[in-house]
């Protein structure tokens, strides 16, 4: 269960950190104004600074509402069921990306679609297998054959000699 | 099919190891790593080579061109470096292969690549607006000297070839320009045609469209000899009629940009030989000669020692400018 | 009517069986490319380029431009159906197109999008036909200050549009700006903000951001609601396409305004993406009920689509006549021109009339062919929504990540897309506006470059932004747009006050 208050705080802290990282990175290149206009770091510096300040602004607004009791922002914006569904959808995606990086995109596509359809979607084996392999083949034909784009490959493709 | 061929080839190599007749051959698709974005000069170079190889069937394996133009080519070199020992990655670039690491903090150095060949030299000229009163290079330089730091020289991004050349001209003549860096030579060409800048140092190919229309005119070329004769481009003048800058009285010998080809480090010598041969054949093809003539580059194929010496000279000359201008990163 | 005669000659070149077949093929391939997020028109065109080496230039450019039209159409399709812009320029189409699809009006949204896109494209080509010479001269007057002013107008039209908190808008825009500045800085020749990570050398592609923020982010939201697309029950009838076409004339004002914005941005060169954003913003601003925008207002589909295609076709003119590519795709095509032995520039029109006018004629024909082809696919695409979400959801995930990889062939990009997905989900939950962020990513670095080039021109003096009538009027338009919104608010408040007072008195 996530309340609006904590969600706002978390995102604002995240963008605050992002802004500060940019500010730090930008100072390397000079942030002043010389004879030929702003130095290379100036634009990123001020943009990053704005991000950081505006994030602080959101934090102040959020916390002052809570402290003054005007609005405790304790409305639940993500309930237990919703959270469960999001995680149930997100974890396989994470797994898919991990598989892409290790086993290559074709194997990852097949495994992920099989899992999502057979286990999560409750489809039959035939439909799941057909969709999974059909998609992989479609990608192969379209990208590698027609457009000559090599997708990420893994040990299986290496073994098969692709 | 490809799989069978690969397997058969692998088997053949395994059966007759070290057979003299079986020099290195590619065993899988070759990747041409282009160190510029689509449409850039290096991109055209690589794609022309690709098209000639495919048309004349000089290589059995398919060729895939990938653009890695980020960081003005650094991305492509870093990608190439990661292919250490893989002779199926061929990197196409310019002199940025050995010059970029001077001016930017990058995770690659020239030693990460095996030189293969340089296929052409792209030329640089001084161009002024078509309406400008300067009859020759000397007059323009004098005008620039008369008003130091007011005339504008346009070119591609900072600390790259155009600005290096501008710095060399300044050093040699004592004139001083405001250098305006644009996104590329095409932009520098139209900015000159619109008279927003006073001159640029574009390659022939980047300005020829505007020259044809008389919107810009060339003053001199930074080449040891005049460019090859050509059809007249504008007002009865062709490429061969442009004086060299030395003739025009500028104390600057030459400034040319090689179109280079590299392999990653640690590849078999056989593989380097293989690509040298293929590229040499490409450089002798009619299509290549036509491309060179059309873009008014100088077709000069260099490999091995000749290429290495060229690189050493070019490296030293550029480095001197970088140091004088304070561009070298620690 | 010299141009008209040339055009007729062009039609005689373009209107052969071979060329029309190439158009159909190009459009179909383009739709495929456009439907895949990440694999955009620039990639598609550069990938087909080797195929064209052995063709004659007219056939080659017809194939490539048709692919471009197809990709633009395909990009809108996924924007509307799944909230995933297949092309950068169809980001703005998601704002109202996807809500329409969710309400079961997918057919209507798609038909509106395709028809208005076709009209926009034709408007762009008409301009090229009629005014090519004049436009080419006009465009030469543009230098860095004018470019900056054009970007400024685009930003100004967009500011104050969303109803989000000011802090959040600033964060979103700032994040977009800073992401755009990662990588090589043309003006200084420095590589900025990579923090020594090689994967950042090429910068953060905004296509990756779009895939994550829109594609993955939207999927997470959909999952959370446990909702299926509401469109499932909606029947798809061919007659719906015709009924929508009959409604189109009602939006003549939007079509006209959007065409003008698109043509303007195609020439100047703000590009199709900026054009579609600006057109959307202007449509919302001038609408009588702006509150409807973002909730499935047809004008919110028509405006960006018209401008997008008008800009896409108008951008061909600076490419041919000046050698300045008005869009990323045009840049690739220019590379092609050089390989085919053509030098873009003012003389191309007189030197190679066959090529130029054949191309222009093919732009008319190609767009008509494209509209017919895509309209025929509407029922097919709309019925995709009937597929259960438990199949289509994971498939979209796969397409998104493979698409992300194809943008630059970098494995790092799929992680980046995942990260953007999480950020997008969080931002959407908390009403951070994503559109300004995308806009800042698209034109932020260009605006910065133009500004700093201007400062080099003027040696640090801001007066360059009102140094000639052209740039002065552009800046004035930008400032007016920027101040218009707060002034409107003030005026409305003042009126309400006086009205209240009058009522009391």
B309-329 pLDDT, tens digit per residue, is 999 999 999 999 999 999 998
Instruction: Please give the CATH number for the structural domain made up of B125-254.
Output: 3.40.190.10
With bands split at pLDDT 50, 70 and 90, how would you rate the model's confidence at C415? very high
Domain(s) of CATH 3.40.190.150: residues in chain B:
2-6+28-122+257-325
pLDDT digits (tens, 9 = 90+) for C387-397: 888 888 899 99
Q: Can you give the pLDDT at residue C72? A: 87
Confidence of residue B10 (pLDDT cuts 50, 70, 90): very low
For residues A8-29, average pLDDT: 95
Q: B199-200 and B125-129 as β-strands: parallel, antiparallel, unpaired?
A: antiparallel
Distance between A54 CA and the closest CA of chain C, angstroms: 5
Mean pLDDT for chain B overall: 90
Q: pLDDT category, C34, cuts 50, 70, 90?
A: confident
Whether residue C465 is predicted with pLDDT greater than 50 in this model: the reply is yes
Q: Which stretch of A122-131, C3-12, C25-34, C493-502 has the lowest confidence by average pLDDT?
A: C493-502
Q: Which of A68-72, B121-125, B204-208 has the highest mean pLDDT?
A: B121-125
* pLDDT higher than threshold 60 for residue C170: yes
Q: What is the pLDDT of residue B16?
A: 43
Domain ranges of chain A: 2-78, 85-160
Q: What is the mean pLDDT of residues C354-371?
A: 90
Q: What's the rounded Cα separation, in Å, for the pair C186 and C488?
A: 39
Q: What would the mean pLDDT of C300-312 be, rounded to a whole number?
A: 95
- Which pLDDT belongs to residue C239? 82
- CA–CA gap between residue A117 and residue A124 (Å, rounded): 8
The encoded tokens of residue A94 equal 């994470």
| C234 confidence band (pLDDT: 50, 70, 90) | low
Q: Please give the structure tokens belonging to residue A103.
A: 């086993």
The whole-number average pLDDT for the span C281-305 is 92
Give mean pLDDT, residues C105-122.
93
Mean pLDDT, residues C54-82: 89
pLDDT more than 70, % of chain A:
99
Q: Is C388 close to A121, i.e. CB distance below 8 A? A: yes
Specify the range with the lowest mean pLDDT, choosing from B140-149, C247-256, C369-378: C369-378
pLDDT at B64 over 70: yes
Chains that touch B (3 or more CB pairs under 8 A): A, C
In this structure, is the dihedral angle defined by the CA atoms of residues A70, A76, A78 and A84, taken in order, positive or negative? positive
pLDDT digits (tens, 9 = 90+) for A50-77: 999 999 999 999 999 999 888 878 888 8
**pLDDT per residue over B34-54, tens digit each?**
998 877 889 889 988 998 998
Residue C231 scores a pLDDT above 50: no
pLDDT category at C236 given cuts 50, 70, 90 is: low
Q: Which residue in chain B has the smallest CA separation from A149?
A: B64
**Confidence label for C502 from pLDDT (cuts 50, 70 and 90):** confident
Q: How confident is the model at residue B186 (pLDDT cuts 50, 70, 90)?
A: confident
Mean pLDDT of B3-12: 45
pLDDT over 50 (residue C158): yes
**Cβ atoms of A3 and A75 closer than 8 Å:** yes
| pLDDT at site C235 | 60
- Chain B CB contacts of A149 under 8 Å are 64
**Higher pLDDT, residue B89 or C290:** B89
pLDDT the model gives residue B159: 93
Determine whether the interchain pair C347/B157 forms a contact, defined as Cβ–Cβ distance below 8 Å. no
Q: Which of C33, C38, C402, C405 to mutate to test the interface with A (most CBs of A within 10 A)?
A: C402
Q: Is the pLDDT of residue C228 over 70?
A: no
Beta carbons of B39 and C332 less than 8 Å apart: yes
Using CA atoms, how far apart are residues C97 and C297, in angstroms rounded to an integer? Answer: 8
Size of interface A-B (CB pairs under 8 A): 14
Three-class SS of C254-300: HHHHHHHHHHHHHHCCCHHHHHHHHHHHHHHHHCCCHHHCCCCCHHH
- Say if residues C323 and B186 touch (Cβ distance below 8 Å): yes
Place of tokens 């690549």: B113
User: Given the DSSP bridges, would you call strands B216-221 and B125-129 parallel, antiparallel or unpaired?
Assistant: antiparallel
Mean pLDDT computed over C377-391: 82
The per-residue pLDDT for range C184-195, each reduced to its tens digit, is 998 998 899 999
Q: Given this model, what pLDDT does residue C227 score?
A: 58
Residue C452's contacts (CB-CB under 8 Å, 6 or more residues apart) are A36, A37, A38, C187
Give me the CATH topology for the region B2-6+28-122+257-325: D-Maltodextrin-Binding Protein; domain 2 (3.40.190)
Share of residues in chain C with pLDDT > 70 (%): 97
Residue C68 exposed, middle or buried by CB count within 10 Å (0-12, 13-18, 19+): buried
pLDDT, position B177: 96
Mean pLDDT of chain C: 87
Please judge whether B186 and C324 are an interchain contact, meaning their C-beta atoms are less than 8 angstroms apart: yes
- The lowest-confidence range among A89-103, B163-177, B297-311, C85-99 is C85-99
Tokens of B86: 């893989």
Helix axes B96-103, B304-325, angle to 10 degrees: 20
Q: How confident is the model at residue C331 (pLDDT cuts 50, 70, 90)?
A: confident
With contact defined as beta carbons under 8 Å apart, do C180 and C475 qualify? no
The span from the CA of C28 to the CA of A126, in Å, is 30
User: Does residue C482 register a pLDDT over 80?
Assistant: yes
**Higher pLDDT among residues B152 and B14, named by residue:** B152
Q: CA distances (Å), B74 to each of B110, C165, C215, in order?
A: 12, 40, 30
The token pair that represents C423 in the structure block: 């950020």
* Inter-chain residue contact A117 with C390, CB threshold 8 Å: yes
Measured CA to CA, the distance from residue B136 to residue B126 in angstroms comes to: 10
Query: C419 falls in which pLDDT band (50, 70, 90)?
Result: very high
User: Burial, C66: exposed, middle or buried (Cβ in 10 Å; 0-12, 13-18, 19+)?
Assistant: buried
**CB pair distance less than 8 Å for A15 and C456:** no
- pLDDT for the residue numbered C334: 82
Q: Nearest CA to CA, how far is A155 from chain C (Å)? A: 16
pLDDT-wise least confident of B174-183, C119-128, C336-345, C369-378? C336-345
Q: What is the pLDDT of residue C389?
A: 81
How does C428-446 read in b/e, with b if 16+ C-beta sit within 10 Å?
bbbebbbbbbbbbbbbbbb
pLDDT of residue B22: 58
Select from C335, C341, C449 the residue whose CB has the most chain B CBs within 10 Å, as the one to mutate to test that interface.
C335
Give the burial class of B300: count Cβ atoms within 10 A of its Cβ; 0-12 exposed, 13-18 middle, 19 or more buried. Answer: middle
3-state secondary structure C462-473: HHHHHCCHHHHH
Q: How far is CA C312 from the centre of its chain?
A: 8
């Amino acid at each position: 269960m996530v309340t609006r208050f904590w969600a706002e705080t978390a995102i604002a802290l995240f963008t605050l950190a992002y802004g500060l990282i940019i500010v730090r990175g930008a100072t390397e290149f000079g942030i002043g104004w010389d004879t030929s206009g702003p130095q290379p770091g100036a634009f990123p510096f001020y943009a990053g600074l704005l991000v950081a300040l505006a994030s602080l602004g959101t934090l102040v607004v959020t916390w002052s509402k809570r402290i003054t009791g005007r609005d405790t922002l304790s409305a639940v914006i993500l309930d237990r069921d919703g959270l469960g569904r999001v995680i149930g959808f997100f974890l396989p995606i994470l797994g898919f990306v991990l598989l892409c990086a290790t086993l290559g995109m074709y194997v990852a596509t097949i495994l992920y679609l099989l899992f999502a359809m057979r286990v999560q979607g409750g489809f039959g084996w035939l439909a799941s297998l057909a969709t999974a392999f059909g998609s992989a083949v479609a990608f192969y034909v379209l990208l590698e054959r027609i457009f000559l784009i090599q997708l990420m490959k893994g040990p299986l493709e290496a073994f098969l000699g692709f | 099919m490809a799989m069978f061929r690969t397997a058969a080839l692998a088997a053949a190599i395994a059966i007759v190891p070290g057979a003299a007749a079986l020099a290195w051959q590619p065993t899988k698709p070759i990747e041409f790593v282009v160190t510029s974005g689509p449409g850039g000069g290096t991109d055209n170079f690589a794609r022309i080579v690709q098209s000639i190889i495919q048309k004349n069937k000089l290589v059995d394996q398919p060729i895939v061109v990938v653009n890695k133009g980020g960081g003005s080519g650094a991305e492509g070199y870093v990608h190439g470096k990661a292919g250490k020992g893989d002779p199926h990655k061929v990197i196409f670039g310019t002199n940025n292969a050995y010059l970029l690491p001077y001016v930017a903090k990058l995770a690659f150095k020239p030693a990460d690549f095996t030189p293969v060949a340089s296929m052409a030299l792209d030329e640089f000229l001084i161009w002024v607006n078509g309406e400008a009163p300067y009859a020759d290079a000397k007059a323009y330089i004098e005008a620039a000297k008369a008003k130091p730091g007011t005339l504008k020289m346009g070119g591609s991004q900072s600390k790259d070839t155009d600005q290096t050349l501008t710095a060399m001209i300044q050093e040699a003549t004592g004139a001083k320009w405001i250098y305006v860096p644009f996104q590329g030579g095409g932009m520098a060409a139209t900015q000159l045609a619109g008279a927003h800048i006073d001159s640029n140092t574009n390659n022939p190919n980047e300005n020829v469209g505007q020259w044809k229309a008389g919107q810009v005119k060339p003053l001199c070329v930074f080449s040891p000899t005049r460019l090859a004769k050509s059809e007249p481009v504008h007002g009865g003048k062709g490429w061969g009629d442009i004086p060299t800058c030395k003739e025009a009285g500028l104390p600057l010998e030459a400034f040319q940009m090689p179109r280079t080809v590299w392999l990653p480090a640690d590849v078999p010598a056989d593989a380097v030989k293989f690509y040298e041969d293929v590229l040499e054949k490409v450089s002798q093809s009619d299509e290549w000669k036509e491309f060179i003539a059309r873009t008014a580059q100088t077709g000069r194929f260099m490999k091995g020692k000749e290429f290495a010496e060229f690189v050493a000279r070019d490296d030293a000359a550029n480095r001197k400018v970088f140091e004088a201008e304070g561009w070298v990163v620690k | 009517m010299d141009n008209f005669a040339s055009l007729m000659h062009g039609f005689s070149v373009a209107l052969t069986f071979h060329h029309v077949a190439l158009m159909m093929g190009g459009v179909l391939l383009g739709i495929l490319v456009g439907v895949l997020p990440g694999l955009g028109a620039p990639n598609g065109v550069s990938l087909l380029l080797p195929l064209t080496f052995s063709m004659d230039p007219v056939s080659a450019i017809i194939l490539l431009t048709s692919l471009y039209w197809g990709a633009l159409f395909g990009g809108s399709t996924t924007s509307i159906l799944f909230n995933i812009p297949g092309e950068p320029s169809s980001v703005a189409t998601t704002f109202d197109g996807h809500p329409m699809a969710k309400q079961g009006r997918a057919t209507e949204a798609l038909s509106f999008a395709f028809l208005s896109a076709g009209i926009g494209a034709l408007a762009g080509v008409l301009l090229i036909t009629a005014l090519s010479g004049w436009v080419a001269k006009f465009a030469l007057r543009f230098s860095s200050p004018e470019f900056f002013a054009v970007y400024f107008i685009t930003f100004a039209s967009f500011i104050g549009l969303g109803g989000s908190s000011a802090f959040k808008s600033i964060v979103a825009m700032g994040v977009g700006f800073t992401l755009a500045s990662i990588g090589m800085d043309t003006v200084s020749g420095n590589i900025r903000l990579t923090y020594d990570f090689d994967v950042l050398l090429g910068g953060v592609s905004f296509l990756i951001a779009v895939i994550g923020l829109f594609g993955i982010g939207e999927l997470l939201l959909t999952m959370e609601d446990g909702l299926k697309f509401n469109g499932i029950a909606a029947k798809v009838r061919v007659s719906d396409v015709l009924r929508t076409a009959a409604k189109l004339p009602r939006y003549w004002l939007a079509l006209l305004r959007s065409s003008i914005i698109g043509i303007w941005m195609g020439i100047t060169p703000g590009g199709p993406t900026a054009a579609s954003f600006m057109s959307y913003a202007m449509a919302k601003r001038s609408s009588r009920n702006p509150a409807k925008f973002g909730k499935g207002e047809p004008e919110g589909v028509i405006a960006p689509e018209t401008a997008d295609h008008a800009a896409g076709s108008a951008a061909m003119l600076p490419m041919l006549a000046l050698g300045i590519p008005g869009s990323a795709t045009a840049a690739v095509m220019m590379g092609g021109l050089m390989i085919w032995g053509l030098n873009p520039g003012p003389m191309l029109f007189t030197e190679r009339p066959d090529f130029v006018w054949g191309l222009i004629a093919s732009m008319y024909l190609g767009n008509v062919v494209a509209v017919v082809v895509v309209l025929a696919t509407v029922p097919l695409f709309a019925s995709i929504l009937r597929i259960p979400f438990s199949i289509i959801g994971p498939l979209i995930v796969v397409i998104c990540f493979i698409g992300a990889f194809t943008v630059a062939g970098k494995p790092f990009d799929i992680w980046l897309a995942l990260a953007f997905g999480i950020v997008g989900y969080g931002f959407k939950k908390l009403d951070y506006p994503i559109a300004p962020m995308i806009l800042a990513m698209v034109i932020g670095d260009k605006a910065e470059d133009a500004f700093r080039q201007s400062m080099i021109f003027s040696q640090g003096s801001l007066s360059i932004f009102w140094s000639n009538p052209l740039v002065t009027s552009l800046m004035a338009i930008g400032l007016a747009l920027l101040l218009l919104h707060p002034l409107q608010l003030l005026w409305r408040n003042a009126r309400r006050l006086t009205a209240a007072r009058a009522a009391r008195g």
